[in-house]
């Protein structure tokens, strides 16, 4: 069956989601829930996000944090950072505080020139081309007058237009190499509009324009950030030894490309986080930065270090084409908030802040690598991520964190320890023990607040009874589950793992079903009746179909009901 579709972009957002779920998720309504739970409740704000790109179905959230205590050129900053990688914000914060007591970071903008090119083919006499270019150069500037007018008022515009011969690399290939100053704008649209106007003016019967496009390689749009102090003030047990190892680590990244790539990736952890937070183009920044790292013909470190005359000096030069006006910076509410948090910087100031974030991140990584190892802090965060995935509570997290203090953290080891604790701590509900069950339900009221989910107390009791009716054969769960899936899912019922919050069979409605009985007491009595019926039913029946797990016999249905009862009793803090 083909999954191709015509006119997808013309569908409404709801229709797009329904088509995706039907064709790629077997109509699993949980997928719809996940997609929609990330929609913004403010319809106008959601529409703003929908309009950023095409075929939107939801929002993809990344955590936004802040790193305080940055002192840059004697000015205090709190730096917004958007990233999914643990340890980045913590590392930046620690390093910012460390250097704030030693004069802070010093930054200098070395240049702000950006590049655009008109690429063309010319098979005629080169001297004729040069003559044509020189004769028309003034006209090329004039062709952009209506576009550059406002930029020139702000001190920007076209700085120079050069004719470049590239025929030694590609037959008949030439280019117009054009330099721009775009002030506080990143300038992509401005540059491209100028290039297209210039190309239209420059072309003739002998000149074939191939394309006109800005370059994300901006080696002259450069900023430097640095820190320095006496070696004895580096704040470690053996500062001279630390400084020497740190220096050696930087030198290794300068000469070894395999190390340089990871070294520079760490720098970009800090750079990208602030670039994204301020609504700038992190992909353009990444491409330009890595091209700069290879500008001398070999990929090398972006940062450098000296330890001369008892002084530790660490610095970085980064090409950063950024904007603080226009584009997403003017549209995304959090991008605007980030720029306000940074005290409404100019593009030059933002270059300096972002270079500082990259240098701070690099210092943190190298300090960890040359002392107690990069994994020490990172694995603490990794441990927390694993525990969050497992749904560990605060007490379980504390027990496991203490257990792994000084030990190697691996996913398998954490899961094993977590399961060991759960075996000891889970108070499984014995749903077949009527006396015990009534005792637990005794404290439940319709208004009892739920820890999670939308059901009230009575709806929860009737929900348990509904699944019992399925196991009793009173409700036909006509949902086919493939044998391979059933086998894989049933394996979960053999474990001591609990049902996770959000688990829901596809046959169930999105919203809680209204209570069937007039009182909670009547609902409880029906629940007890269904349990009795369950025991009777399986004296003469071998299996009944579960809408998620497939065909289950009596033993597997018991395992399911224990997990199901425990899950929902926890929902209302009954166990």
**Which ranges of 239-299 does DSSP label H, i.e. alpha helix?**
239-255, 257-277, 282-293
The first and second tokens of residue 548, run together, are 């998620």
The answer to whether 522 is a known catalytic residue is no
Residue for token pair 């004719």? 163
DSSP 462-523: HHHHHHHHHHTTSS-------HHHHHHHHHHHTSSPPPPTT---TTS-SSPPPPSSSSHHHH
Output DSSP code: residue 329.
G
Secondary structure element (H or E) that encloses residue 353, with its range: helix 347-369
From the candidates 265, 332, 336, 397, give the one annotated as an active-site residue.
265
Please tell me the distance from the alpha carbon of residue 349 to that of residue 351, in angstroms, as a whole number: 5
Contact assessment for residue 328 and residue 189, using Cβ atoms and an 8 Å cutoff: no
CA triple 265-267-271, angle to 5 deg: 110
* Beta-carbon contacts of residue 5 (< 8 Å; ≥ 6 apart): 19
Q: What angle do CA 482, 485, 487 make, to 5 degrees?
A: 105
Q: Which of 378, 546, 564, 567 is catalytic?
A: 378
DSSP letter for each residue of 233-256 = GS-SSSHHHHHHHHHHHHHHHHH-
Candidate list 85, 152, 340, 398, residue with the active-site label: 85
Long-range contacts of 451-454 (CB under 8 A, 24+ apart): 451/570, 451/571, 451/572, 451/573, 452/501, 452/571, 453/501, 453/571, 454/511, 454/512
Q: Which residues touch 125 (CB under 8 Å, ≥6 apart)?
A: none
CA–CA dist 353, 330 (Å, integer): 19
**CA gap 89, 82 in Å, rounded:** 9
Instruction: Tell me if 349 sits within 8 A of 70, measured CB to CB.
Output: no
Active site residue 265: yes
Instruction: Compute and round to an integer the Cα radius of gyration of the chain.
Output: 32
Sign of CA dihedral 71, 74, 77, 82: negative
Is 378 an active-site residue? yes
- The span from the CA of 547 to the CA of 486, in Å, is 10
Q: What is the Cα–Cα distance from 136 to 131, expressed in whole angstroms?
A: 9
Measured at the CA of 452, the angle between CA 447 and CA 458, to 5 degrees, comes to: 35
Question: HSE on the CB side for 406, CA within 13 Å?
Answer: 2
Q: Element (H or E) spanning 10, and its range?
A: none
**Residue 117: strand, helix, or coil:** strand
Active-site residues: which are they? 85, 265, 281, 378
């Amino acid at each position: 069956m083909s999954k191709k579709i015509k006119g997808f972009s013309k569908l409404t957002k709801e229709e797009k989601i329904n088509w995706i779920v039907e064709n790629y998720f077997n109509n699993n309504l949980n997928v719809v829930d996940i997609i929609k739970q990330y929609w913004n409740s403010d319809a106008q704000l959601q529409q703003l996000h929908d309009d950023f790109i095409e075929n939107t179905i939801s929002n993809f959230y990344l955590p936004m944090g802040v790193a305080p205590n940055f002192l840059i050129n004697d000015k205090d900053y709190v730096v917004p950072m958007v990233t999914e990688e643990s340890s980045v914000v913590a590392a930046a914060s620690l390093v910012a505080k460390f250097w704030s007591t030693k004069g802070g970071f010093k930054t200098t903008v070395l240049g702000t020139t950006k590049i655009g090119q008109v690429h063309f083919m010319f098979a005629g006499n080169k001297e004729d081309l040069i003559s044509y270019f020189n004769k028309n150069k003034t006209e090329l500037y004039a062709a952009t007058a209506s576009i550059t007018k406002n930029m020139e008022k702000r001190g920007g515009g076209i700085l120079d237009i050069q004719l470049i011969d590239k025929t030694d690399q590609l037959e008949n290939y030439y280019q117009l190499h054009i330099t721009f100053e775009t002030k506080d704008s990143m300038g992509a649209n401005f540059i491209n509009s100028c290039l297209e106007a210039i190309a239209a003016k420059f072309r003739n019967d002998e000149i074939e324009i191939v394309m006109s496009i800005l370059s994300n390689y901006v080696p002259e749009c450069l900023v430097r950030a640095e820190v320095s102090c006496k070696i004895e003030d580096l704040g470690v047990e053996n500062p001279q030894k630390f400084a020497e190892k740190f220096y050696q680590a930087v030198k290794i990244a300068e000469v070894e490309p395999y190390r340089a790539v990871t070294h520079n990736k760490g720098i970009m952890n800090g750079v990208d986080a602030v670039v994204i937070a301020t609504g700038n183009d992190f992909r353009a920044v990444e491409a330009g930065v890595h091209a700069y790292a290879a500008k001398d013909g070999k990929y090398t470190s972006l940062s450098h270090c000296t330890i001369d005359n008892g002084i530790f000096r660490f610095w970085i030069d980064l090409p950063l084409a950024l904007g603080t006006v226009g584009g997403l910076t003017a549209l995304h509410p959090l991008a605007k908030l980030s720029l306000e948090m940074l005290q409404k910087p100019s593009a030059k100031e933002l270059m300096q802040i972002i270079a500082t974030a990259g240098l701070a991140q690099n210092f943190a990584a190298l300090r960890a690598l040359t002392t107690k190892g990069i994994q020490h802090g990172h694995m603490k965060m990794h441990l927390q991520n694993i525990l969050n995935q497992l749904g560990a509570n605060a007490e379980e997290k504390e027990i496991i964190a203490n257990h792994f203090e000084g030990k190697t953290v691996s996913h398998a080891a954490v899961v094993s320890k977590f399961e060991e604790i759960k075996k000891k701590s889970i108070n499984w509900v014995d749903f077949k023990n009527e006396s015990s069950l009534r005792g637990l339900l005794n404290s439940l009221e319709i208004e009892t607040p739920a820890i999670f989910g939308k059901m009230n107390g009575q709806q929860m009791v009737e929900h348990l009874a509904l699944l019992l009716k399925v196991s009793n054969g009173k409700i036909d769960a006509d949902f086919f589950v493939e044998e391979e899936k059933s086998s894989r899912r049933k394996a979960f019922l053999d474990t001591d793992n609990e049902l996770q919050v959000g688990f829901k069979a596809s046959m169930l409605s999105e919203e809680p079903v209204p209570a069937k009985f007039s009182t909670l007491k009547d609902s409880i009595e029906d629940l007890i009746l269904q349990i009795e019926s369950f025991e009777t039913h399986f004296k003469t029946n071998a299996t009944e179909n579960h809408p998620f797990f497939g065909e289950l016999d009596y033993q597997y249905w018991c395992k399911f009901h224990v997990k199901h009862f425990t899950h929902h009793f926890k929902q209302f803090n009954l166990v």
